[in-house]
Amino acid sequence: MQRKRLWVHSTHRTPLSLHPGRSLATWAAAVAGVVCIAAGVLLAVGPDGAADAGVVPAAAAVPAAAAVPNAAGTVPVAVALPDRSVSAPVVPTGTTPDGALVVPDPPTTVGWWSPGALAGATSGTTVLAGHVDSAAAGLGAFAVLRQVGVGERVELRGADGRTLAYRVVARRQLGKADLPADLFAHGGPPRLVLITCAGRFDRTTRHYTDNVIVYTEPA
């Protein structure tokens, strides 16, 4: 009798006390599973990385000595991407002895590789480089380069007061070892090139794996 009572007790209590909990766990597991799968899919196909776009304009196609700037340009002092509500001061910069392009420390400031072409020169590549982010100050002015699209406008303001307009014609994401040497060659059609970092981040070296290069031509 005692045994039967226990059985009855058990079978009568189960629907009332355990099923609601099990039902809740079932729903929680189902929802969590769907959320995890959705997040994984979004991460896999989301906006990570900069998909290549557009056609890269030609660089110097003639010997350097015969393809030099043939008109005075101006030293760039500011850059703006109006479609992205981004603007930043520009300062001259150069190359370290071990061959790295010097990028200004404040991520909100952009460097102009001053051995290259002036802004507004009728030939040659004007090169700007800016941080995508920094450990101390967060995202940089050029973080938007990973999403910039063909046709977007870029403006350079020169030291002489001129504003020079360019249009994005191509964007490439390349491993750092594949940085095109022709970015820094003399001559060729006038173009403005914007460079920053992208790809995965190595927390040991504190470097990114890739560069994003945005090519523009005079508008």
Partner 1 sequence: MSVPPTRLLLATALTVVALLGGACSAGQPAATTASSGTAGASATAGAGGSGTGTAAAPSGVSGLSADQAAQAHQAALGLVALGGLGSDKGTTDGLRTLADRVSTEGRALDEQIRTLATAQGLTLTDDVSAQIQGVLNDLQGRSGQPFDQAWLRAVGDLVEQGRAAANAVLSSSDASDEAKAAARDALARLDALTAAIRDAATTSGAGTPNSVNAGTGGQAADTDPALPAALVGLGALLLAAALRLRRRKA
Least distance to partner 1 from the beta carbon of 103, Å?
A: 5
- For partner 1 (CB under 8 A), the number of binding residues is 88
Of 2 and 157, nearer to partner 1 (C-beta) is: 157
Of 117 and 170, nearer to partner 1 (C-beta) is: 117
Instruction: Using the CB atoms, write b or e for 102-136: b if 16+ within 10 Å.
Output: ebbebbbbbbbbbebbbbbbebbbbbbbbbbbeee
User: How many Å apart are CA 24 and CA 26, to the nearest integer?
Assistant: 5
Secondary structure class of 21 (helix, strand, coil): helix
What x-and-dash track marks residues 18-57 binding partner 1 by CB under 8 A? -x--xx-xxxxxx-xxxxxxxxxx-xx-x-xx--------
Contact with partner 1 (CB under 8 A) among 1, 16, 55, 181: 181
Using CB under 8 A, which residues numbered 114 to 153 contact partner 1? 114-115, 117-118, 121-123, 129-140, 142-143, 146
What x-and-dash track marks residues 76-105 binding partner 1 by CB under 8 A? ----------------xxxxxx-xxxxx--
Least distance to partner 1 from the beta carbon of 8, Å?
A: 21
Per CB under 8 A, does 1 bind partner 1?
no
User: How many Å apart are CA 49 and CA 18, to the nearest integer?
Assistant: 48
25 to 10, 14, 213: CA distances (angstroms): 21, 16, 49
Quick one: which segment of 2-10, 81-89, 163-171, 200-208 binds partner 1 (CB under 8 A)? 200-208
Tokens of 129: 């480089």
